[in-house]
Structure 1
Amino acid sequence: MVSYWMDSAPAPGHPPLTEDLTVDVAVIGGGIAGLSAAWELTRAGRSVAVLEADRLAAGVTGNTSAKLSAQHTLIYAELAGRDPGTARGYARSQQEAVEHVARTAAELGVDCELERRPAYTYARSAGQVERLRAEARAAAEAGLAASFVTATALPFPVAGAVKVEDQAQFHPRKYLLGLAEAMTARGCRIFERTRVTGLREGRPCRVTTEGGAVVTAADVVVATHYPIFDRALLFARMEVTRELVVAGTLPPEDDPEGMYITSEDNTRSVRTAPLPGGRRLLVVTGESYKPGAGRVGDRFDRLAAWTGEHFPRARITHRWAAQDNHTTDRLPFVGPLHPGAGHAYVATGFGGWGMSNGVLAGLLLSGLVTGEERPWAGLYDPRRLHPGREAVPMAKAQATVARHFVADRLAAGDAGDLAELRPGQGTVVKVNGRRCAVHRDEQGRVHAVSAICTHLGCVVGFNEAERTWECPCHGSRFGLDGRVLQGPAVSPLEPVELKEE
């Protein structure tokens, strides 16, 4: 359960923050959005501190499929139907992010294995062809090098596909570790293992950390994937999903030489990457599901089976999972943290396309802080609200949260169920009226923590493949000992003393 990107790009590490600090900008989060913003701000002459709860580029960014593309499945026909200007702005800004990575990597001499490849959204069902044709027209009208095709280099026939030229794929950690090295050489301070727990906005702002150190900053960027401070109630306008990834070696002659995605079969995404000796790495993503849904091992088996069926000479060496936030209008939230914010900014809701959106967020946030606002900043402003368009998806999202909040409490078993719990398994049970998340380790010992997520109180579920507790409402993830692995929660699950009778 370690991604290829993490496995192939070790990093020396940075110290935790242990004393108070004053800077121009505090960036919370060391993924692609946070590091991109920190790089742009450092290059603009600001003093910057990056505060990462774990390790740089090791969370969502370290578990991506790493497609760097403006081709985001079927989105341009929908955006053009709202307003052609919105579609053009989206295409222009996303393609600018692709080109910005290429320019920056060349400028800094970062070998991030960047390769130019076309991106495809395909379908095998003939019933999807007209949608693909409409998407190709809309993407071309928005300014992308898009066309409808019926032939690809995939090892199976397709009914049709939208092909967009001039896209890219890269090694995200190698790129971001190169950025980190360049920005520290210019004076940026980077701190790992430094979890932020509080933010007091003002002039200046004050950021407090789990260890007690305080960062005073004129401006603050919250780039924690899902915002740990949600003063604009953005959680009501986002849904969280997880997807699984398998990767392995592939003979170069089997390389489909492009980046592919379809919504069919519960999503299938395919790309390759270079390996030493002329070999290729095949990366296959899919099996979208809600955190805490369980039976993740079965989902991995289905994804591996699909990979083996279509790429029989691939040899799987890695598997991991990614997590995404989807907004109710399909556009990311990048801008002021809330309507009254003057010096706090947020980047979230990348909808499965975090590479281009993360780089774009860095450009937009840097411009907002320095006063050099980008022309498409308004398109991504979190303060936007379209009640007519967003009412139904917002209602569905909140109905799902409400259902989990109530039904998961009622579904908790009782302490007697522990007798059926086998080694490696986990479950939620009620003990003396308290809901406990209980795991039996491989030696047969039982370990328990509170089952109530410390973010907003939903009941967590067990992920048997990754051995984690996950919140189905907003995507917080916890280790078996209750420690926070992924926000928006910032506090661990409370340990519970449980004696098995």
Structure 2
Amino acid sequence: MTGLPGTYESYWMETAPGSAYSGPAGDLEVDVAVVGAGIAGICAAWELARAGRRVALLEADRVAAGVTGYTTAKLSVQHGMIYARLRSSFGAEQARLYARSQQEAVEQVGRVAAELGIDCELETAPSHVYTERPDAVDGLREEADAAREAGLPASFVEETELPFPVAGAVRVEGQAQFHPRKYLLALVADLVRRGGVVHERTRVVSLHEGEPCRLTTEQGTEIVARDVIVATHYPVFDRALLFSRLEPRRELVVAAELPADLAPRGTYLTHEHDTRSVRTAPLSDGRRLLIVTGESFTPGDGEVGARYERLAAWTGEHFPQARVTHRWAAQDNSSTDGVPFVGRFHPGSRHVHVAAGFGGWGMSNGVMAGRLLAARIAGEELPWSALYDPGRFHVRETASLMKLQGSVVKHFVGDRLASSHVDEVEQIPPGTGAVVRVGGRRCAVYRDEQGTAHSVSARCTHLGCLVHFNDAERAWECPCHGSRFAPDGRVLQGPAVRPLEPRPLD
């Protein structure tokens, strides 16, 4: 896909390259093994190392380079229209605990940045959820009331600094935004100084629960640990059955240079127009970086190039002096009741813990999860531990659960009954991919710009759904649980841990 605006790279990745960490030279024994070096895993590992634990942080790719490296990086307690829903579904006390746990996470970043002297471009900013529709104002007023009841400095306002009119907004004071990789890479460096070990390019492929627990990597190395934290965004082990309660969503991001005097300093979100999120970050020479996120979709839905074009067009219409410089995509998973899963991996777990389902709000949730899991391993229960317990189940979750599983079944069965995307490999243009029947089997075939076809199995190695091609990012995506693969079959994003198998075309 050509002609899309900006360089396809995350601004956070480009401006904070970081250090490299080698894989383990041999077997390893530690107090705690943390699988996944995104914000939740890094924060948990750092908290544990600070408490004197021997910690190993294991990452399949590079630290803070997965979902965390491609975030919007809002650090906020305002997670969309959440507090009225929490009050209704969970009760007013649980809504207060949610707000308190998230606000403490926001404040924790400021405390740690000051303690370690981290220059991570941390800025205080009010956050907003807004609507352009007069008929949606009553819902915002209810949300503002619920947020205030939860203990937040929230108010309903009709004026904002956005360069277009809104019908109303919920404003929450004292929130923040920052450069996530500058913050997290500094935490990783401090983790190492405290005796922790960090291993990149170390994909964990199996877990044996016991006393102690044993992990096996793709290279055959064994890590022995009393406790294990699975913080892989989407859990890479299925024994907890959380895949049945997590819905993957993908959103696109465009970033553009904008004169500082035209840049909003608060953060903004609306679920209208298929989601639009706006924030800015500091640049130099009187400029700021405008970051616009939106076009929410399920991985594998296709037409990603057209979605980028719509997002860039919206940005140009509302910020005509913005010049797009970067574009990237972010992915997260939402739980069926809208609250993350942080705690015991499954009801029988004694020494395996999980953090997942951040619903697009990984910055505050990741910090919160790191603190909660470190406390749990130390034998301490925080006031909100039960709220985030993965073993919970609410009757009101049933409808969302059934809808999610219906979508999975639709893809698992329906994609197999449908005809192939194209009839012949020769019909696939250069730079694109399609699922084709070859020798009676469905193959995922990508034709590169030079015309060479690359064929792999079309069955996701997680649970067997058929993958779809993402035209803008040139990746195979599973629409059931969000696994992503490179054109040659390499795993880009879990829960899959094994690559798509090569398939001959002759």
1-side partners of 2:285 and 2:148: how far apart? 38
The aligned counterpart of 1:314 is 322
Q: Given the alignment of the two structures, is residue 458 of structure 1 paired with residue 496 of structure 2, yes or no? A: no
Selected match of 2:303 from 295, 303, 321 = 295
Cα displacement string for residues 302-336 of structure 1 (whole angstroms, at most 9, x for unaligned residues) = 00000000001111110000001011110000000
2-side partners of 1:183 and 1:113: how far apart? 21
Deviation for aligned residue 1:117: 0.2
CA contact (8 A) 1:38 1:48 kept: yes
The aligned counterpart of 1:98 is 106
Aligned positions, number = 498
The aligned counterpart of 2:206 is 198
Moved over 4 A (4+): none
Deviation for aligned residue 1:263: 0.2
CA contact (8 A) 1:450 1:494 kept: yes
What amino acid maps onto 1:131 in structure 2? G
3-state DSSP class of the match of 2:189? helix
The aligned counterpart of 1:349 is 357
2-side partners of 1:395 and 1:12: how far apart? 44
Please give the residue correspondences for 1:4-403 in structure 2 after superposition, counting only pairs within 5 Å.
Answer: 4-82=11-89, 83-386=91-394, 388-403=395-410
CA contact (8 A) 1:196 1:208 kept: yes
1-side partners of 2:377 and 2:149: how far apart? 32
Q: CA RMSD in A?
A: 0.9
Selected match of 2:455 from 448, 453, 464 = 448
What amino acid maps onto 1:46 in structure 2? R
1-side partners of 2:360 and 2:354: how far apart? 17
CA contact (8 A) 1:414 1:431 kept: no
Cα displacement string for residues 263-306 of structure 1 (whole angstroms, at most 9, x for unaligned residues) = 00000000000012332000000000010111100000000000
2-side partners of 1:389 and 1:230: how far apart? 24
The aligned counterpart of 2:4 is none
CA contact (8 A) 2:489 2:500 kept: yes
Cα displacement string for residues 237-267 of structure 1 (whole angstroms, at most 9, x for unaligned residues) = 1111100000021100111110000000000
Q: TM-score, normalised by structure 1?
A: 0.98
The aligned counterpart of 1:427 is 434
Which is worse superposed, 439-448 or 21-30?
Answer: 439-448
The aligned counterpart of 2:505 is 498
Unaligned runs of 5+ in 1: none
CA contact (8 A) 2:126 2:176 kept: yes
What amino acid maps onto 1:247 in structure 2? A
Which is worse superposed, 451-460 or 14-23?
Answer: 14-23
What amino acid maps onto 1:461 in structure 2? H
Deviation for aligned residue 1:407: 1.2
Deviation for aligned residue 1:349: 0.2
What amino acid maps onto 1:351 in structure 2? G
Q: TM-score, normalised by structure 2?
A: 0.97
Deviation for aligned residue 1:182: 0.8
CA contact (8 A) 2:423 2:437 kept: no
CA contact (8 A) 1:24 1:46 kept: yes
Deviation for aligned residue 1:415: 6.9
Deviation for aligned residue 1:412: 4.1
Deviation for aligned residue 1:344: 0.2
Percent of residue pairs bearing the same amino acid type? 64
1-side partners of 2:340 and 2:216: how far apart? 27
CA contact (8 A) 1:412 1:430 kept: no
What amino acid maps onto 1:306 in structure 2? W
CA contact (8 A) 2:130 2:270 kept: yes
Deviation for aligned residue 1:406: 1.0
3-state DSSP class of the match of 2:396? helix
3-state DSSP class of the match of 2:285? helix
2-side partners of 1:271 and 1:175: how far apart? 18
What amino acid maps onto 2:30 in structure 1? V
Cα displacement string for residues 332-389 of structure 1 (whole angstroms, at most 9, x for unaligned residues) = 0000000000000000000010000000000000011011221111110001011x21
What amino acid maps onto 2:78 in structure 1? Q
2-side partners of 1:195 and 1:24: how far apart? 19
CA contact (8 A) 2:276 2:292 kept: yes
Unaligned runs of 5+ in 2: 1-7
2-side partners of 1:362 and 1:414: how far apart? 43
Deviation for aligned residue 1:445: 1.3
Which is worse superposed, 114-123 or 437-446?
Answer: 437-446
3-state DSSP class of the match of 2:172? strand
3-state DSSP class of the match of 1:413? coil
2-side partners of 1:223 and 1:3: how far apart? 22
